[in-house]
Amino acid sequence: MKVLKPLVYLWAFPTTLVGLLATVPTLLTGGRARWHSGVLEVWGGFSAFLLSKLVPMPGGASAMTLGHVVIARDAACHTRTRSHERIHVRQCERWGPLFIPAYLLASAVLKIRGRDAYHDNPFEREAFEKE
C-alpha cells in the first residue's frame, strides 16, 4: 500500500522541525539553502560549525539528515553524500517522530557494548548498504 506523500511529510514533521530549527541560525550566519528532490538542503554558516565542531565523531560529520532537511558543511558535501542522506530521509519517513530517539538509543547501546556507535548503527549500515 502506497502512503500519500503529504501524510509522509506530516509523520516525519517532528524530526523535520528539528532540521528547520537548525536552518534559521544557518541562514542568519551566511549559510545557504535550496530545495532538491523534495528535501531542503542547508549548508554553511552554523551548519558547518555544528557538523565540524559539535557532532561527537572524530573529524565531525559531512552531513546530517533531520526529516526532510539535510544540513551539510558545504554544497560539495551535499553532492557527495546525497544518496546516503536520502536513505536517512526514507528512514525518517518510516520512523517519524521516533527516528531521533531510535537512532540515539541504537548508538548508545552500541557504545555501551564496546562497538562503533556510528558505523555499527543499523540506520547507518542500511544507508551505507543502499547508497
Give the 3-state secondary structure of residue 33.
strand
* Mean pLDDT computed over 90-94: 97
Alpha-carbon distance of 2 to 39, in angstroms, equals 19
Beta-carbon count within 10 A of 34 CB: 11
**The predicted structure's pLDDT at residue 5:** 83
Q: 116 lies in which domain range? A: 5-130
How long is the chain? 131
> Does residue 1 carry a pLDDT above 60?
no
* Mean pLDDT of the region 22-48: 97
Whole-angstrom Cα Rg for the chain: 14
Q: What is the count of structural domains for the chain? A: 1
Grid coordinates belonging to 82? 546525497
> What is the mean pLDDT of the segment spanning 109-126?
97
